[in-house]
Structure 1
Amino acid sequence: MLEEDLLYVLALQRVKGIGDINAKKLISYCGNAKSVLKEKAKNLEKINGIGAFTIQNLFDETYLKEAEKELKYIQENNIEPMYFEDEKYPSKLKHCVDGPLLLFKDGSFNLENRPIISVVGTRNITSYGRDFCEKFVLDLKEYNPIIVSGFAYGVDICAHKAAIKNNLTTIGVLAHGFEEIYPKSHKKYVAEVYKNGGFLTEFWHNETPLRENFLKRNRIVAGISEATIIIESAEKGGSLVTADIANSYSRDVFAVPGRTTDNFSKGCNDLIKRNKAAILTSASDLVEMLNWNLVKNEPKAIQKQLFVELNENEQLIYDFLVDEGKQLLDSISLTCQLPIHITTTVLFHLEMKGLVKPLPGKQFEAI
């Protein structure tokens, strides 16, 4: 990404009251972030869902000055910015309408063509939860997944440590900037995480771990992976929010059951009871549900499967992409006469079946 482009994206990200969804709408209309900040307000107000109140802070030059400082930090500290239209932006997050406009990566990990799972749960992990987490990650070692979590107390840090112990890539998604470490007691794990992966955040380097940041962080944890695993949870907690978000993205959710009398199994048991999560009793449950054995047993160089079973909507979209070549998400939805949220879900399933790949700028093409 060019320096000038990044500068204007940073400024747009900083504008109060815009948010990721509206920022993407504005960019789609204007072409890029610089054009958004140079466009006349009366033209922007014509965009569906955008009004005078939304863009009232858009032309404050303070944001550009702040962006210059952040850009300097990024360059001096070798931080990799990941813009939502870039190829390096996590592919599964591209399918999330509220995915971050811009992510910051610090580490040497590669997210492409790797199975990714998110492991979350209570900060008050019990011996039952710890034992399950450690064995679960150990049993997944042969599939070489990336283990994502939030670097918090309890299940989060247990998952990171289990990944490190088994020489698996692990990524901590932070609820603050890179100049902070929360909780401070986890500073001792930072070097090991960098050695085995690294960190992601959407927050600028000096942003502190505010309460609302953790809820925003959860959508990245849920959206970046193909499945979210809840190890332990009380009746209420952040991991249940993450599960709800994953469900809204049409991602698989798994929960570890426990005794009805155990406080930190009540949340998991409830997810299973309400069909919001599949029951997870061992790593083999996950492997079977996600068809990882099929991937594992394939030779390294293979041709595309010729006889993949598709449902009606999958066949409709796949045939359209084969006939027309790469297409914008909106064009696929319009031509195939499917709502955007259904189109996005179908495209994700086609991607998982190896039939479609996402491209920058919300474009897709048949493989």
Structure 2
Amino acid sequence: MNNDERICSIALTLCPGIGHIGAKRLIEGMGSAAEVFSRRQELPELLSCVSSAVIAALDNPAAFLRAEHEMEFVEKNRLTCLTLKDEAYPSRLRECEDAPAVLFFKGNTDFNRLRVIDMVGTRNATEYGKQFCADFLHDLSALCPDVLVVSGLAYGIDIHAHRAALANNLSTVAVLAHGLDRIYPYVHRKTAIDMLENGGLLTEFLTETNPDRHNFVSRNRIVAGMSDATIVVESADKGGSLITADLAVDYHRDCFAVPGRITDASSKGCNLLIRDNKAALIQSAEEFVQAVGWNAEEQSAKPEGIQRNLFLELTDEEESVVRILSRLGDLHINTLVVEADIPVNRMTSLLFELEMKGVIKAMVGGVYHLLGN
């Protein structure tokens, strides 16, 4: 049995009937993909809800042969293969129930920096949408020069978001709906190459995978899951960007939409998101930064509130959160999740307990302030 965690993780994705959620649960339950395979006969005793069908699916020599072939491609082309166990794996995405067991990356960036956004929208972008991408990222680069911009390299808003990020020296990553043996659409190849110096190309798909329609839906969960906030620039009343927005809401991430005229087909989706309270209306980078709590002036303020109770007994996890806030100042909950490496559902509970103990104060936009700091 091959014990290479990368090969085992790839092989696990190739076992029929297990799926993203099943694979992640098996890895979390056993501690690694390698352990899942090496102890597969014991799984029913060690983990609940593991059926004989799962054991049969794991007995799959062909999956290992394919995984080994994929790793040869990865090594030959100097790609990075990230498993759920790797520190460089996108921490925000790792917290999602359906996070992929393995990712392939070519480029140069840090997925776990303090600020990550994604910008998505229609393939039929208007001048209004294109100009918003250019203006928004120009202004955001001045306010938050370390932000990572994620999109999907598609026609329309996606490619304009990538190009605007590059023009303003922002790191930008394209999440692909196919393997790294090709670029789709091919006309965006130059932009994709330019991104490798400050950003790059990311995918869960193996080589020889075609950019089929269902793959785009699958990749949208990665776009939403690895980001602090989703920004829908333009969208018709149906489309992939609305799926990304729904996923962001499901993952408890911030979601924003750029409003448009009610007569414009390319703004119908955004207007519906705002109407249905699925997304907050956004008009500028300044507005966005304030909404997500990245505003430096707001973070430096010392709001009055609950008095901090001295000599409290805090758990190790609570102490960790306090140390992070003391060191970095006011932070958004998504940033705390990344910094503390604590799941978002557990972090929500910890923050509530700390607020009740008078240690922290909740501010606008999901930002938390350490009292007495």
**After TM superposition, what 4+ stretches of structure 1 lie above 4 angstroms from structure 2?**
295-298, 305-310, 322-326, 348-351, 353-356, 362-367
Measured against aligned partners, the alpha-carbon deviations of 1:218-263 in whole angstroms (never above 9, x if no partner) come to 0010011100000000000000000000000000000001111110
Tell whether 2:138 aligns with 1:138. yes
3-state SS in 2 of match to 1:195: coil
Structure 2 runs not aligned, ≥5 long: 307-312, 322-330, 352-369
Distance 1:177 1:294 in 2: 40
The equivalent of 2:203 in structure 1 is 201
Distance 1:12 1:285 in 2: 43
Contact map agreement 2:92 2:334 (CA 8 A) in 1: no
Distance 2:116 2:92 in 1: 10
Measured against aligned partners, the alpha-carbon deviations of 1:101-139 in whole angstroms (never above 9, x if no partner) come to 111111011123331100000000011111111111111
Distance 2:253 2:222 in 1: 13
Tell whether 2:353 aligns with 1:358. no
CA spacing shift, 1:309–1:140, aligned 2, 3 Å? farther
The equivalent of 1:27 in structure 2 is 27
Distance 2:37 2:214 in 1: 27
Measured against aligned partners, the alpha-carbon deviations of 1:195-231 in whole angstroms (never above 9, x if no partner) come to 2311111111221211111111000100111000000
Tell whether 2:313 aligns with 1:321. no
The equivalent of 1:89 in structure 2 is 89
Distance 2:16 2:225 in 1: 24
3-state SS in 2 of match to 1:179: coil
The aligned runs of 1:208-247 (5 Å cut-off) are 208-247=210-249
The equivalent of 1:150 in structure 2 is 152
Distance 1:89 1:295 in 2: 31
* Structure 1 residue identity aligned to 2:94: K
Distance 1:153 1:60 in 2: 39
The equivalent of 2:120 in structure 1 is 120
* Structure 1 residue identity aligned to 2:341: P
The equivalent of 1:72 in structure 2 is 72
Question: Which stretch has the larger CA shift, 54-63 or 281-290?
Answer: 54-63
The equivalent of 2:354 in structure 1 is none
3-state SS in 2 of match to 1:15: coil
Distance 1:323 1:127 in 2: 48
3-state SS in 2 of match to 1:136: helix
Contact map agreement 2:40 2:55 (CA 8 A) in 1: no
Contact map agreement 2:117 2:148 (CA 8 A) in 1: yes
The equivalent of 1:178 in structure 2 is 180
The equivalent of 2:61 in structure 1 is 61
The equivalent of 1:313 in structure 2 is none
Q: CA RMSD in A?
A: 3.1
| Deviation for aligned residue 1:50 | 3.2
The equivalent of 1:17 in structure 2 is 17
| Deviation for aligned residue 1:359 | 6.7
CA spacing shift, 1:308–1:59, aligned 2, 3 Å? farther
Contact map agreement 1:26 1:44 (CA 8 A) in 2: no
3-state SS in 1 of match to 2:295: helix
Distance 1:307 1:167 in 2: 34
**TM score, norm. by length of structure 2:** 0.80
**TM score, norm. by length of structure 1:** 0.81
The equivalent of 2:48 in structure 1 is 48
Distance 1:13 1:363 in 2: 27
CA spacing shift, 1:363–1:8, aligned 2, 3 Å? farther
Tell whether 2:283 aligns with 1:281. yes
* Structure 2 residue identity aligned to 1:279: L
Structure 1 runs not aligned, ≥5 long: 299-304, 311-317, 327-347
Corresponding pairs, count: 331
Measured against aligned partners, the alpha-carbon deviations of 1:252-303 in whole angstroms (never above 9, x if no partner) come to 00000111111011100000000000001111121111111138976xxxxx
CA spacing shift, 1:87–1:308, aligned 2, 3 Å? farther
Contact map agreement 1:122 1:155 (CA 8 A) in 2: yes
| Deviation for aligned residue 1:16 | 1.9
Measured against aligned partners, the alpha-carbon deviations of 1:287-325 in whole angstroms (never above 9, x if no partner) come to 111111138976xxxxxx999989xxxxxxx94334797
Contact map agreement 1:45 1:51 (CA 8 A) in 2: no
Distance 1:93 1:354 in 2: 11
| Deviation for aligned residue 1:88 | 0.9
Distance 1:170 1:356 in 2: 21
Distance 2:319 2:197 in 1: 44
| Deviation for aligned residue 1:352 | 2.9
| Deviation for aligned residue 1:77 | 1.3
Contact map agreement 1:149 1:159 (CA 8 A) in 2: yes
| Deviation for aligned residue 1:351 | 5.3
CA spacing shift, 1:359–1:271, aligned 2, 3 Å? closer
| Deviation for aligned residue 1:52 | 3.0
| Deviation for aligned residue 1:97 | 1.1
